[in-house]
Chains A and B, each alone.
Chain A
Amino acid sequence: MNIEGGLPEKLEWIRDSLEFFGPELILFTGIIIVLCAGIIVPSVRTGRSHGVPLILALVTTLLACALSLADWNAQGEATDLFGGMVINDRFSSWLKIVCDLAGALTLLLSLPSSQERKHVSEYAALVLGVVLGAHFLSMSVGMVMIFLSLELISISSYVLAGYSFRQAGAEGSLKYFLFGTASSAIMLYGLSLLYGLTGSGIIASREFAEGLMEHQSLLLLVAGLLALAGFLFKMAALPMHLWAPDVYEAAPMPVVALFSVVPKLAGLAVLTRFVLAVTAYGQTAFDWKAIVGLIAILTITAGNVAALRQVNAKRMMAWSSIAHSGFLLIGVGALTEQSVQFMMFYAAVYFVANYVVFGYLQYFESRGLQTIPDFAGTGRSDPAAHTLLLTGLISLTGIPPTAGFTAKLLIFTGLYDAYRTTNDPFLLWILVPGLLNTVISLFYYLRIPYYAFIRDGQSTPVKYLTWTNFLGLVLVLILLGLFFRPDGLMGWINKITFVL
């Protein structure tokens, strides 16, 4: 092969690729700026104007979001960049938008509690790091990129998990680190085997698919599962979910909110691409959809039943987020174009509802309510906050009149539709317990309102017009609006033409 031969056009497409990297570049510069702000501005170091880095990071995420939006509108079809290392399509743009908004909300949530937090600028930088890693991960199809961006997210998360500088935080990040490294090693092993089997480091490439065609063996299955393990770890899905409860319990609330959305969605994106790749246009010997479906249903069930008896609110939400990653996986299990679109819708709704809940959990935590029994009787004194929280929880459950219902309806519709087209009874077997799980989930979701409203307890009245209530109200209105008029958002999502 001739090396100089390829060189000019390689430089050519590198230059072309760069213009699709607006959001990522913004985030990168954001990280630098925030760090420099932390170093240069003395008042940040002394902790007096702690808000500054957060505001800067917030602006950065919003800019990134705007840019992602821009190239959402710009490009219609998928374009692969950097020699196919990454793909930029509407699928990834959508996830980028959601992740940016999630990052922004996280920073917003961390504003009130930032004064008792040290190293605010590093904190902001790490949050941006997570978001940036999510950006890369949602785009990447090259194994190297997958691995690197996954590690980018992981390493930032390890540090963030311990950001409440307490014993619990240290323990959480330690566990997170050990588990995460192990799972990434496992994934790496799987990826290496896949590379060996196909001879291509890019899962979207043609020779990857051909290589799969040649080796439809058990080893391929094992390799795929090992690789899958890493993604499942990011999504906190079975069997790689074990870290989630402990870490969630340990981490500060905004970080937990971030964990429950951004790495999950990024992992979901890469998992979707991966499953689509290994199914190799449906010619594979193994029913990867069924595997994902199985994992999904196990995850849903495990998450829901385990959440039933939780005492700590954060821990309960951890299990709930596990269950929800199961619901998201259903979209992958069906793996039709609609189902992926519905999955995106679900992701958006889940993101909003989750932030409502975590926002209020932080609000109540600041008032000293840690465990669920602490909430007893607080609903009487603070009905506004609790009603908004209740709406968020109901949306997570999936009951009208909240968008959660629409999202679940659509997810199951997608499944049903897949069942209709590919007459695969397995999908039906996912459908039924999936629906039953909704009932189970209601129990723990309603426990906080139950304690707050029905159980008696002493509580002091508080004023309604708070910053949190305003934020919550906005998000709740979004949830309600998405129930009453989902067609706007859905029509938008319909533009996602999902190909590798």
Chain B
Amino acid sequence: MIYAFYIFAFIAVAAAAGIVFARRLFHAALFLLVSFLGVAGIYAVSFAEWVAVTQILVYAGGVVVIIIFGIMLTARIPGRPTAVSNSKWFAGTLLALAAMGFLITLFLSESFGTATAPPVEEGFTLVNRFGIVLMTDYLLPFEVAGLLLLITLVGAAVLAATRNNNPTS
């Protein structure tokens, strides 16, 4: 199980790195998918099954698919390479390394509690508990999330629906 964690972690990071070095956008999206799955695995091994499932459903099933649609739509125009070119290597790596080094040193300097499995009463699974909390303590965020989805729907609809007869105007 411990090894599983590291394996998944390796997969996630490697896939993420793959995104950086991917030549074609489509491959990058696939790398993202892999990375997501790896992360989901990590959730699974750390007592967050529900999150893992959501991750797989929403991310792998939703987001990545949307993204791939997007790639298709933007790639479909003839005469344009779908290859994604990189720029500002220096700035990017600089920022990334700075952030990583900074964070990791800080993390190592700090002591967090030890990881323990969340307690579960008999007759309940973690998911039951999850559901109850979601419907009581997190009722308001739940509703707001619904509202957010509505707004997103409206916004996406507006953006998608407008056909611009005269682009420059």
Output the least CB separation between B105 and chain A (Å).
9
B140-A145 in contact (CB<8A): yes
Asked whether A285 is an interface residue with its Cβ less than 8 Å from the other chain, the reply is no
Chain B residues, Cβ within 8 Å of A122: 154-155, 157-158
Asked whether B63 is an interface residue with its Cβ less than 8 Å from the other chain, the reply is no
A10-B158 in contact (CB<8A): no
**Residue-by-residue, is B72-102 near A (CB-CB < 8 Å gives 1, otherwise 0)?**
0000000000000000000000000000001
B121-A3 in contact (CB<8A): yes
Binds B, one of A148-156, A244-252, A258-266: A148-156
B161 in complex: contacting residue of A119, A132, A197, CB < 8 Å: A119
User: What's the dominant secondary structure at chain A's contact region?
Assistant: helix
B151-A11 in contact (CB<8A): no
Chain B residues, Cβ within 8 Å of A86: 140
B140 in complex: contacting residue of A82, A151, A152, CB < 8 Å: A82
Asked whether A462 is an interface residue with its Cβ less than 8 Å from the other chain, the reply is no
Chain A residues, Cβ within 8 Å of B119: 1
A-B contact count (CB 8 A): 103
Asked whether B107 is an interface residue with its Cβ less than 8 Å from the other chain, the reply is yes
Asked whether B7 is an interface residue with its Cβ less than 8 Å from the other chain, the reply is no
B158-A219 in contact (CB<8A): no
* CA distance in complex: A291, B121 (Å): 46
A119-B167 in contact (CB<8A): no
* CA distance in complex: A155, B151 (Å): 8
Asked whether A167 is an interface residue with its Cβ less than 8 Å from the other chain, the reply is yes
* CA distance in complex: A145, B107 (Å): 26
A3-B158 in contact (CB<8A): no
Question: Closest chain B residue to A136 by CB distance?
Answer: B144
**Residue-by-residue, is A297-310 near B (CB-CB < 8 Å gives 1, otherwise 0)?**
00000000000000
Chain B residues, Cβ within 8 Å of A35: 154
**Range of interface residues on chain B?**
35 or more
Q: Which of B112, B121, B147, B169 has the most CB of A within 10 A?
A: B147
Question: Closest chain B residue to A123 by CB distance?
Answer: B158
Q: Indicate whether A129 sits within 8 Å of B110 (C-beta atoms), given known contacts A3-B121, A148-B144, A162-B159.
A: no
B162-A11 in contact (CB<8A): no
B151-A85 in contact (CB<8A): no
* CA distance in complex: A123, B158 (Å): 9
Chain B residues, Cβ within 8 Å of A436: none
B86-133 at interface with A (beta carbon < 8 Å): 102-103, 106-107, 109-110, 112-113, 119, 121, 124, 129, 132
Chain B residues, Cβ within 8 Å of A175: none
Question: Closest chain A residue to B128 by CB distance?
Answer: A3
A196-B112 in contact (CB<8A): yes
* CA distance in complex: A144, B113 (Å): 22
B137-A83 in contact (CB<8A): yes
B138-A144 in contact (CB<8A): yes
Q: Indicate whether A126 sits within 8 Å of B154 (C-beta atoms), given known contacts A7-B136, A196-B112.
A: yes
Closest 5 CB pairs of A and B: A159-B155, A219-B106, A82-B140, A10-B136, A144-B141
A residues adjacent to B (C-beta < 8 A): 1-3, 6-7, 10-11, 14, 17, 28, 31, 35, 81-83, 85-86, 118-119, 122-123, 125-126, 129, 132, 136, 142, 144-145, 148-149, 151-152, 155-156, 158-159, 162, 165-167, 196-197, 199, 215, 217-219, 222
